[in-house]
Amino acid sequence: MSPEVKHDTEAKRFVVAVDGHDVFTQYRDVDADTVDFVSTFTPPELRGRGLARVVVEAGLAWARAQGREIQGSCWYVAKVLGEEANA
């Protein structure tokens, strides 16, 4: 079962809370049509569980549903976008 991803619109991030820690990807609005995912963070004790991918995929799905163009300044988001492009 996948953990629940919450969209924190005030902090502009998608977050999963696990064992008292937050895994998140944060974005910024470049303009009305473009969103840039600027960072992704997983606490060391939660790494290796695929949680970063869960929050990134949720963020990308939201951006696409909004009809926004996506930029990936965050290296991890850029990696996921590249994998999707090559799939």
Torsion of CA 66, 72, 76, 80, to 10 degrees: 60
The domains found in the chain, sorted by start residue, are: 6-85 (3.40.630.30)
Label residue 6 by pLDDT band (50, 70, 90).
very high
Number of H helices, E strands in the chain: 2, 5
Per-residue pLDDT reduced to its tens digit, 24-73: 999 999 999 999 999 999 999 999 999 999 999 999 999 999 999 999 99
**How far apart (Å, rounded) are the C-alpha atoms in residues 63 and 46?**
25
Query: Whole-prediction pTM value?
Result: 0.94
Tell me, what's the pLDDT at 1?
61
Task: Fill in the amino acid letter for 84.
Answer: E
